[in-house]
Structure 1
Amino acid sequence: MAIELQYSSSLNGASFLLFELKQVLRLKQLGLTNQEIRQKVKEQNQFQFNNQGRINRALPSVMRRAETIDDTLVSLMLEGSIDIAKIINLYAIMKTDLLFFEFMDEVTGEKLRNNDYLIEKKDINLFFTYKAEQSEKVASWSSSNIEKLKRAFMNVLFESTILRTRKGKELNRLIIDERIKNHLTNIGDARFIRAMGE
Structure 2
Amino acid sequence: MIKYSSGLVSESFWFVEFKKIIKLKHEGISWEEIKDLCLKENLLGVSKEYRAKRIYGYLKNRISLLDEDIFDIFIMSDLSTQKIIDLMSIAKQNRLFFEFLYEVYREKVLLGETELTDSDINIFFNNKQQQSEDIGLWTDVTLRRLRSSYMNFMVDAGLLTVVNKQKQITPPILDVALERYLVEKNEVQLFKAITGRD
Given candidates 155, 168, 176, the residue that maps to 1:170 is 168
Task: Name the counterpart of 1:58.
Answer: 55
Residue 108 of structure 1 pairs with residue 105 of structure 2: yes
SS at match of 2:62: helix
User: 2:9 is matched with which residue?
Assistant: 12
Q: CA RMSD in A?
A: 1.6
Q: Structure 2: any 5+ residue segments left out of the alignment? A: none
| 1:162 partner amino acid | L
**Number of aligned residues:** 195
Indicate whether 1:123 and 2:104 are aligned.
no
Per-residue CA deviations over 1:151-198 (Å, capped at 9, x if unaligned) read: 000001100111112742211121111111111101110111100112
TM-score (norm 2): 0.91
The unaligned stretches of length 5 or more in structure 1 are none
Report the TM-score, using the length of structure 1 for normalisation. Answer: 0.91
Question: CA 1:73–1:117 in structure 2 vs 1: closer, same or farther (change >3 Å)?
Answer: same
Q: State the 1:111 CA deviation.
A: 0.5
Is residue 154 of structure 2 the alignment partner of residue 157 of structure 1?
A: yes
Partners of 1:170 and 1:126 lie apart in 2 by 18
Give 1:49 shift.
2.1
List per-residue Cα deviations over 1:103-154 (Å, max 9, x = no partner). 0000011111111111111111111111111112111222111111110000
CA distance in 2, matches of 1:96, 1:103: 13
Any runs of at least 4 consecutive aligned residues in structure 1 with deviations exceeding 6 A, and if so which? Answer: none
Aligned partner of 2:101: which letter? Answer: M
Q: Which residue of 1 aligns with 2:184?
A: 186
> Which segment is superposed worse, 90-99 or 44-53?
44-53
1:195 corresponds in structure 2 to: 193
- Aligned partners of 1:54 and 1:19: how far apart in 2? 15
Displacement, 1:53? 4.1
Question: How far apart are the structure 1 equivalents of 2:52 and 2:4?
Answer: 22
Q: Distance in 1 between matches of 2:180 and 2:170?
A: 22
Q: Distance in 1 between matches of 2:119 and 2:177?
A: 35
Q: Deviations over 1:13-41 (max 9, x none)?
A: 22211111112122223333223322321
